[in-house]
A and B are shown apart, each in its own frame.
Chain A
């Protein structure tokens, strides 16, 4: 839910350039005044933390510094120390894998549902859209809580259903105790939460494919599959590209869902993703320098990944 309406934004990327009427010249003093409060809060809430992290990641920040010693500049030692640990690399690989699997699954299922919406009667489509919206509207913490109840080892619906269809081994199966099935549950939750946005965005793109084009394809004898492959999918490719990019960015930063699922007693060190690793390092073990170094890695990755998205948004600004 945290991303509810941010998730409505990317489609703007495919939008038209709107001519903005701007007044040139002498009144720019007022413009600075108007932008000042936002600029101030951004510098305070985001700018200063980034600055602090860069500085801290280059300093010795141990117990002595906790008690007021001035920090010592040690260059890239923190980076060398943290990136020399196998722990971190295990987390990085796990995060990247998790991110890719989730992003691809989400966009794949989202595309399939968008095409399904296009193929069915309006009343069926409205039911499907409403159900997706309900899932989309769920606050993240409430969603994870419900899924924990569904996957509950004793009286959860999932185990009950599996036993009903013949998998007796799942009676009392604890999904969250093993890393692999833990990530399976996490993937189910994240895909469930993210698909509505992707499906509705791609569907919005599909509705823009002109009827004449589809008509022409039919007259030329194109079958359903050919129409799909050569007309529909290529025409919504820009939307697909943007939602895929956003999913990659968002799934790289999965933290809260993992943290909440770990509460059930999952093996923490084997289920941590990047965000959880930073949290544990910084707030758990008070290794602020190391946590700052890993945070910088996350920020750099995000900025690199965001670049195409931001560029496509900038096009809108004339």
Chain B
């Protein structure tokens, strides 16, 4: 009995060590990005890499932020993201109301279509989207790329919000109406506050999608002056490939793109994935 217990404890210890090793392996690229971003380039070119922040500097970050292109790309990213998030939230919210609060002809087909188009890959559509935007003279414009982003993000957002709307009891709203509120007032005061977490989650989802997107941006924003941050990061690296990459600055650029997203993701992830994953799995 005790022998078995000891064996189990040893086994558990070994598994624990393995788990920590895997954890280190998985987080290392993120750590290495941030570490390289705050290390002078000269120290990254040594034959033996240093795995600890021994020569901290903010010089790389300053060089990247002050360099050409970053400001323009940041503004472009912010504009595209803002337009997309607003459009997605409004459109998806209305559609979610329609499918979860109303019975109408074609409801099933609408939902089916929404679920299918959410699976369509950008790679199977971007040639036509490129032609469409170029015909409409909307290449390199915030509007053009935002339309494509909104169309790509809205389906999943409708599905996500549908869950939230469906779990908000319509009875509460009806009770408020019995108490003399109009339907609109009842909706505004009772239902909307209950939906706030769902709207926040959907907004964050849309933000992350639009902020990180690369493929559609590549075809819709071919001009270097209209690049969003992911495109700019690619150009930043490509520009230096032939003359020996300054990895410190490239990692500083990567960090500028990634760190805000990581912080945002971690701040809301718990609420979002616990809502989506465990709530759904538990049953």
Contacts and interface: CB of A to CB of B under 8 A. Distances in A.
A and B interact = yes
Given A2-B209, A41-B154, A263 B241 contact: yes
Contacts of A256: 214-215, 218
B233 A38 contact: no
B277 A11 contact: yes
A292 B158 CA distance: 29
B213 to A, nearest CB: 6
A195 B29 CA distance: 14
Contacts of B156: 5-6, 9
Interface string A1-28: 1101110110110111010111111011
Contacts of B78: none
B115 interface: yes
Interface in A260-318: 260, 263-265, 274-275, 278-279, 282-283, 288, 291-292, 295-296, 298-299, 302-303, 306, 309-310, 313-314, 317
B44 interface: yes
Contacts of B71: none
A22 B107 CA distance: 11
Contacts of B45: 155
Contacts of A137: 258, 261-262, 265-266, 269
A44 B151 contact: yes
Contacts of B247: 149, 152, 155
Q: Is the interface of A mostly helix, strand, loop or mixed?
A: helix
A151 to B, nearest CB: 11
B1 interface: no
Interface stretch (B57-65, B119-127, B190-198): B119-127
A283 B150 contact: no
A317 B279 CA distance: 16
Given A31-B104, A37-B95, A41-B150, A196 B219 contact: no
Interface residues of B, number: 119
A41 B49 contact: no
Contacts of A139: 211-212, 230, 257-258, 261
Given A21-B170, A204-B281, A310-B119, A283 B104 contact: no
Nearest to A24: B103
Contacts of A136: 265
Interface residues of A, number: 115
A225 to B, nearest CB: 12
Given A138-B258, A146-B33, A204-B278, A30 B102 contact: yes
Contacts of A313: 115, 159
A105 to B, nearest CB: 14
A50 B116 CA distance: 13
B251 interface: yes
A92 interface: no
Interface stretch (A70-78, A81-89, A117-125, A178-186): A117-125
A270 B276 CA distance: 40
Contact of B30 (A2, A134, A208, A275): A134
Nearest to B219: A283
A142 B254 contact: yes
A155 B44 contact: yes
Nearest to A195: B26
The 6 lowest CB-CB distance pairs between A and B, nearest first, are A45-B151, A275-B123, A49-B128, A31-B102, A28-B104, A253-B121
Interface of A: 1-2, 4-6, 8-9, 11-12, 14-16, 18, 20-25, 27-28, 30-32, 34-35, 37-39, 41-42, 44-46, 48-50, 52-53, 56, 113, 116-117, 119-121, 124-125, 127-128, 130-143, 145-150, 152, 155, 157, 160, 192, 195-196, 200-201, 204-205, 207-208, 239, 249, 252-253, 255-256, 259-260, 263-265, 274-275, 278-279, 282-283, 288, 291-292, 295-296, 298-299, 302-303, 306, 309-310, 313-314, 317
23 contacts: A11-B276, A21-B169, A22-B103, A31-B104, A32-B104, A38-B94, A49-B129, A50-B125, A134-B30, A135-B27, A135-B29, A137-B266, A141-B233, A160-B49, A263-B238, A265-B241, A278-B123, A279-B123, A282-B126, A295-B125, A295-B128, A310-B116, A317-B111
